[in-house]
Amino acid sequence: MRALPPGSTIGILGGGQLGRMLASAAARLGFTCHIYSDATGPAFDVAAKTTIGEFTDLDAIRKFAGRVDVITYEFENVPLCAAAAAAEITPVRPDPKALEVAQDRLVEKRFLASLDLPVAPFAEVASLDDLTAGLQTIGTPAILKTTRLGYDGKGQVRIADAKDPAWALDAIAHAPAVLEGMIDFAYEVSVLAVRGADKQARFYDLPLNTHRDGILDTSTVPSPLPKARIAEADAIAGSIATALDYTGVLAVELFYLGDDTDTPFLVNEIAPRVHNSGHWTLDACAVCQFENHIRAVAGWPLGGTTRHSDAMMTNLIGHDVDAWADLAADDDGGPDTCLHLYGKHQARPGRKMGHITHLTDRKSS
């Protein structure tokens, strides 16, 4: 694959904060970014060119594709038909196959199982009979998730016991679903892998993740996992990237069950894009996840993934952002604080408005 020279135009499907950070990273490398989205968003403030159009308007998608040199995407729910239409005109990286897998939780689970990777027990649910049978097999507690469009805790309900489970289907409006067994885990972690055009992969340090109300709250590096376990986690992500013939940043969310189990990791889900749990790389690494994604999709050599500082990233959710002045002051003599605001005009409960990263001297590997 020929590396795109500076001055080339990178198309981004989606106009959210991840697109904003991708466009900023691309500009530092001399690229122009053109955003295509169905509504204005944070990425529009920093991109050189923007187009508003429906993702189902395939003629508009093709026209957009003809104006750029390569296309990537900043969220995994880009309609597959849109990515396929764009790929008729211009290379799309990562390959749309990654979207096909990640957009449907049932397809994703079956794909991971086909690679002999460990996942939580699961069952397809298309009816109350399916749910009843699944609960009998998997047991409770369990979690019922819509196969599509669920994120940040949306589209899912927890089932504490198998008595009269019809309410759970009502709660998700009887959408196609997958039932998963609840996992007793020690930690939630994620692998941030980047795979270049030369098919070589690099990995950022493994962050330890915590959640609040189903939304990522903090990501901290280094994690407490032993080096050998981190290498195992990286190998899991590498095998997924290889199977998808992936180009760009891939996030793989894992449950770590502990060293006293035969299977220390279970794969929770994958995200074929830059990821919230990698935002700390903006401040703690010489080359962040966003720049490395741009490098990969443009056919450039990958940058280093080593961190120069220990870090804890904390999301600013909803009205957390109202404390921006105090967060920006950073005058308490504590860790260095890096503030990132996404330019969203209205704070709402559950909405990611920005993040902060606390940096401290690197004390451990």
Q: Please check whether residues 311 and 229 belong to one and the same domain.
A: yes
Q: Please check whether residues 218 and 349 belong to one and the same domain.
A: yes
In this model, does residue 243 exceed pLDDT 90?
Answer: yes
Q: How far is CA 293 from CA 15, 192, 203, in A?
A: 16, 11, 12
Contacts 24+ apart (CB under 8 A), 50-58: 50/15, 55/13, 55/79, 55/82, 56/81, 56/82, 58/82, 58/85
Residue 2's pLDDT band, with cuts at 50, 70 and 90, is confident
- Decide the pairing of beta strands 265-271 and 248-256: antiparallel
Report the pLDDT value the prediction gives residue 197, as an integer from 0 to 100. Answer: 94
Q: Please check whether residues 263 and 308 belong to one and the same domain.
A: yes
**297-316: burial string, b at 16+ Cβ within 10 Å, e else:** bbbbebbebebebbbbbbbb
Q: How many domains does the chain have?
A: 3
From 215, 207, 222, select the one nearest 320 (Cα to Cα): 215
- Identify whether 102 is part of a domain: no
Residue 201's pLDDT band, with cuts at 50, 70 and 90, is very high
Report the pLDDT value the prediction gives residue 1, as an integer from 0 to 100. Answer: 72
- Identify whether 112 is part of a domain: no
Pick from 61-75, 167-181, 300-314: least confident? 167-181
- The residue among 156, 181, 206 that closes a domain is 181
- The residue among 159, 181, 203 that closes a domain is 181
C-alpha 271: how far from chain center: 4
The predicted-structure confidence for 138-155, as pLDDT tens digits, reads as follows 988 999 999 987 665 678
Rounded to an integer, the average pLDDT of 168-175 is 89
Report the pLDDT value the prediction gives residue 166, as an integer from 0 to 100. Answer: 86
- Identify whether 116 is part of a domain: no
Backbone angles phi, psi at 129, to 5 degrees: -60, -45
In this model, does residue 95 exceed pLDDT 60?
Answer: yes
Q: Please check whether residues 240 and 322 belong to one and the same domain.
A: yes
Containing domain of residue 344, as a range? 187-361
Q: What is the DSSP letter of 307?
A: B
Report the pLDDT value the prediction gives residue 365, as an integer from 0 to 100. Answer: 59
Q: What is the pTM of this model?
A: 0.94
Rounded to an integer, the average pLDDT of 125-129 is 91
Q: Please check whether residues 238 and 148 belong to one and the same domain.
A: no
- Identify whether 204 is part of a domain: yes
Q: Please check whether residues 222 and 276 belong to one and the same domain.
A: yes
The predicted-structure confidence for 223-233, as pLDDT tens digits, reads as follows 999 999 999 99
Largest CA distance in the chain: 61
Q: Please check whether residues 311 and 328 belong to one and the same domain.
A: yes
- Identify whether 114 is part of a domain: no
Report the pLDDT value the prediction gives residue 333, as an integer from 0 to 100. Answer: 54
3-state DSSP assignment of residue 320: helix
Q: Please check whether residues 291 and 218 belong to one and the same domain.
A: yes
In this model, does residue 338 exceed pLDDT 80?
Answer: yes
Q: Please check whether residues 147 and 198 belong to one and the same domain.
A: no
The predicted-structure confidence for 84-94, as pLDDT tens digits, reads as follows 999 999 999 99
Q: Please check whether residues 59 and 138 belong to one and the same domain.
A: no
Q: Please give the mean pLDDT across all residues of the chain.
A: 93
- Rounded CA gap, 238 and 13, in Å? 25
Report the pLDDT value the prediction gives residue 347, as an integer from 0 to 100. Answer: 94
Query: Is residue 122 within a helix (H) or strand (E), and if so which, with residue range?
Result: strand 122-125
Rounded to an integer, the average pLDDT of 90-119 is 95
- Identify whether 24 is part of a domain: yes
Pick from 5-9, 102-106, 330-334: least confident? 330-334
- Identify whether 101 is part of a domain: no
CB 194 within 8 A of CB 133: no
3-state DSSP assignment of residue 190: strand
- The residue among 181, 205, 229 that closes a domain is 181
The predicted-structure confidence for 16-73, as pLDDT tens digits, reads as follows 999 999 999 999 999 999 999 999 999 999 999 999 999 999 999 999 999 999 999 9
Look up the CATH number of the domain holding residue 79. Answer: 3.40.50.20
Look up the CATH number of the domain holding residue 156. Answer: 3.30.1490.20
From 304, 309, 290, select the one nearest 357 (Cα to Cα): 309
Report the pLDDT value the prediction gives residue 364, as an integer from 0 to 100. Answer: 63
Residue with tokens 């902060």: 356
With a pLDDT cut of 90, the percent of the chain lying above it is 81
Q: Please check whether residues 243 and 348 belong to one and the same domain.
A: yes
- Identify whether 105 is part of a domain: no
Residue 240's pLDDT band, with cuts at 50, 70 and 90, is very high
Rounded to an integer, the average pLDDT of 160-189 is 89
Report the pLDDT value the prediction gives residue 161, as an integer from 0 to 100. Answer: 82
Q: Please check whether residues 141 and 245 belong to one and the same domain.
A: no
Look up the CATH number of the domain holding residue 281. Answer: 3.30.470.20
